[in-house]
Structure 1
Amino acid sequence: MPTVLRVGPYKFYFFSHEPNEPPHVHVDREGLSAKFWLETCDLARNLGFPAHELRRVRTIVVAHREELSEAWYGYFGTAS
């Protein structure tokens, strides 16, 4: 489970066993978890984050999208 970014209380990571899904990132904070697709920065799943905090987290994903995508493709390789 490579951690690719930390911003404040948020840990951004992906699971090493998910290479067949579209590029995405998981975000955790104190028992809360969310998943965002990197191409669109859309929310894929939310487990506990309140809406106002999801907006904040999405802003971070958008701001670091290129870095997160590079980490994804650096780990899994380019799409075939």
Structure 2
Amino acid sequence: MPTVLFIWGWRLYFYANENKEPIYIHAEKGDMDCKYWILVDEMDIKEEFSYNMSPKDKREIRKIIFQNFDTIADSWNNFFKKTT
């Protein structure tokens, strides 16, 4: 499972065997976990699930994902040899 980045205690990663899914990112910090779809064409994200996260935690990870949107999409595409 490739790790895209570590920031503010969050680990952002995706699974190497899920290349048939649209671009997504998992994030975990302590006992919190979530998954967001990366909607490249819309320049947006959509929460798939979250576990043990407060609204503040969700705002924080959404901010991190948006600030690193291109890095996440590029990491996915480079890993799976796709182009955006």
Bigger Cα displacement from structure 2, 39-48 vs 8-17: 39-48
Structure 1: segments with no counterpart, 5+ residues: none
Give structure 1 regions of 4+ aligned residues with deviation exceeding 2 angstroms.
Answer: none
TM-score, length basis structure 2 = 0.87
- Counterparts of 1:78 and 1:26 in 2: how far apart (Å)? 19
Structure 2: segments with no counterpart, 5+ residues: none
Write the letter of the residue equivalent to 1:4: V
Root mean square deviation of aligned Cα: 1.1
* Matched residue SS, 1:38: strand
TM-fit CA distance, 1:31: 2.0
- Counterparts of 1:21 and 1:31 in 2: how far apart (Å)? 25
Q: Does 1:73 align with 2:72?
A: no
TM-fit CA distance, 1:73: 0.3
TM-score, length basis structure 1 = 0.91
- Counterparts of 1:38 and 1:70 in 2: how far apart (Å)? 11
- Counterparts of 1:48 and 1:17 in 2: how far apart (Å)? 26
- Counterparts of 1:60 and 1:38 in 2: how far apart (Å)? 13
Aligned residues: 79
